[in-house]
Structure 1
Amino acid sequence: MSTHWPRRRMHHVFAPDGRAVIAAMDAGITKGVAPGLERGRAAVKRIVDGGVDAILATIGLARAAADELGGTGLILALDSEIPSARYGVEQAVRWGADALELKVFPGNPEVTKMGELRELCAEGDKWGMPVMAEPIPVGFKALEAHTLANIAHGARVSAEAGADFVKAQYTGTPEEYREVVEGCLVPVLALGGPMKPTPLHALQMAYDAIQAGAGGIVYGRNIVEAERPDRMVAALVEIVHGGASVDVAAKHLNIPL
């Protein structure tokens, strides 16, 4: 396998400026019919029309919306009840995916999934398939563990395991989050997390993450559940790629400031 393939696939996720706006559309893997994704193909089309760089999707949604993706990057979510490295990489290659994603839980006393991440990265390397790790300290419900130090630790150990880029929770100020970014060996993209109180809060978080040196953002609910997902994507693109302020980007949303 040519060593050029991982780099080429990364160019399908990251724009020429080295940054990416990614829409996480993988909620159906656990929720089935998830808010904002009830009509999967239509949801993908709206987000692609907004100018998103890539989507994070299940194999089912990727298959159903293949005609809507065009040249937009595709990251396949491999979160599963069983280890997915041995079948997931080959499946991603067959479907023309550009990267894979796996959630891991550093610090979890029962299962961290870090071993699965190492295996996935090694298998991905054989096929020239990049891997995006999503480290969540201990677990989604262990909010007390979601400290800046633990988030930085999770990002670093994911990179050490071989991840090509990392999706990490945003917390604190831009100055504090810079510790996560600079402490990691690979690009860090800010995780959108729960639905923000207003679209402006979502835009502000993206702006702060970019100021901290993040390589972009991965937003799920804050894009797919927006009143106009295409306009939310366009506003985020203005911030991430255009360097726009929140006020300037918000003009895409037609809401009072």
Structure 2
Amino acid sequence: MGYVGRKLRERRILFPESQRGLIVPVDHGLTLGPIAGMQATDDFEGWIGTDHISAVLGHKGLIERLILRDMLHPSTGVIVHLNGMANLSSDGDTKVMVSNVEAALRLGADAVSIQVNFTADNFAHNFTMLGAVTDAAHAAGLPVLTMLYDKVKSPTPAERIARLSHLVRVVAELGSDAVKLAFPEFESEVPALVARHSRDIRIFFAGGDKASEESLVAMTRAAILSGASGLCIGRNVFQHPRPLALLERLSACVKGEVELAEELDAV
């Protein structure tokens, strides 16, 4: 029965019209501290309770506050993030477990997430952690989103994309239902990457560093046209001067409402 429950919960973190998602992660506070746009939970008031977001992702303490303050839209899915590390640490790239599947279930989570940053020497730690999380989550009927970052610099673009492709295969082999990736350096790399992996694992692209609204919309369209499952975008939303307006444009692209997206562009 775990698989049936997992597929049902997976639908709750996606827009029902398109079965694609616009996930907004707000887990940055543990890593970066009180940054602009999320100095406190109240900073999310006014934009996080919109139906333009398919799911919100955060650590257990913040998710609990959002639920208790009734700040989430009834249709918004909840993803509880299970690991992390403050950048105050000398080894900030190697994340450790800070919660578990049972805590996520108590919060009513629809899915859990985990971040794996691959350096040159933390493969064993990441493999062990990710394997344990997927086993526990799937036993409980929860899908797993893996945030995947490659921290090793490759000498050529071809080697970089080959290494990334191998790492995507790793997280798929270890049981992840979805993966969040940084948008490739070159947009032309997106179609082949998605085509190679999207039949085995849902692919969401990150918003990345602060970018203009137009470049975010263009990136979203490119990702969706390539067959990606959507966006997992945080600081470009909560640090935007008009988060709601941006979310409306991005969700129109993710849902495939091309005419609406073009209309909003004109406005």
Q: Structure 2 length normalisation: TM-score?
A: 0.84
Q: For 2:180, what is the secondary structure of its paired residue? A: strand
Question: Does the 8 A contact of 2:51 with 2:76 survive in 1?
Answer: no
Where does 1:157-176 land on structure 2 (aligned, <5 Å)? 157-176=170-189
What is the CA–CA distance in structure 1 between the aligned matches of 2:208 and 2:45, rounded to whole Å?
19
Q: Match of 1:238?
A: 252
Where does 1:160-199 land on structure 2 (aligned, <5 Å)? 160-184=173-197, 185-196=200-211, 198-199=212-213
Q: Match of 1:110?
A: 121
- Displacement of 1:78: 1.6
Q: For 2:115, what is the secondary structure of its paired residue? A: strand
Aligned counterpart in structure 1 of residue 222 of structure 2, from 208, 223, 228: 208
- Displacement of 1:233: 0.8
Question: Does the 8 A contact of 1:76 with 1:97 survive in 2?
Answer: yes
How many residues are aligned here? Answer: 247
Q: Aligned Cα RMSD in Å?
A: 2.3
Question: Does the 8 A contact of 2:51 with 2:75 survive in 1?
Answer: no
- Displacement of 1:35: 1.6
What is the CA–CA distance in structure 2 between the aligned matches of 1:249 and 1:55, rounded to whole Å?
24
Aligned counterpart in structure 1 of residue 84 of structure 2, from 80, 92, 95: 80
Going from structure 1 to structure 2, the CA distance change for 1:43 and 1:143 (only over 3 Å counts) comes to: farther
- Displacement of 1:130: 0.8
What is the CA–CA distance in structure 1 between the aligned matches of 2:156 and 2:5, rounded to whole Å?
37
Where does 1:135-154 land on structure 2 (aligned, <5 Å)? 135-138=148-151, 142=153, 147-154=160-167
- Structure 1 unaligned residues grouped into runs of 5+: none
Going from structure 1 to structure 2, the CA distance change for 1:50 and 1:125 (only over 3 Å counts) comes to: closer
Q: Match of 1:14?
A: 14
Q: Match of 1:89?
A: 101
The question of 1:55 aligning with 2:68 is answered no
Q: Match of 1:221?
A: 235
Q: Structure 1 length normalisation: TM-score?
A: 0.87
What is the CA–CA distance in structure 2 between the aligned matches of 1:222 and 1:93, rounded to whole Å?
29
- Displacement of 1:71: 3.1
Aligned counterpart in structure 2 of residue 68 of structure 1, from 67, 71, 77: 71
After TM superposition, where is structure 1 displaced by more than 6 Å over at least 4 residues in a row? 143-146
- Displacement of 1:37: 1.2
Question: Does the 8 A contact of 1:181 with 1:214 survive in 2?
Answer: yes
What is the CA–CA distance in structure 2 between the aligned matches of 1:132 and 1:145, rounded to whole Å?
28
- Displacement of 1:34: 2.0
What is the CA–CA distance in structure 2 between the aligned matches of 1:59 and 1:30, rounded to whole Å?
14
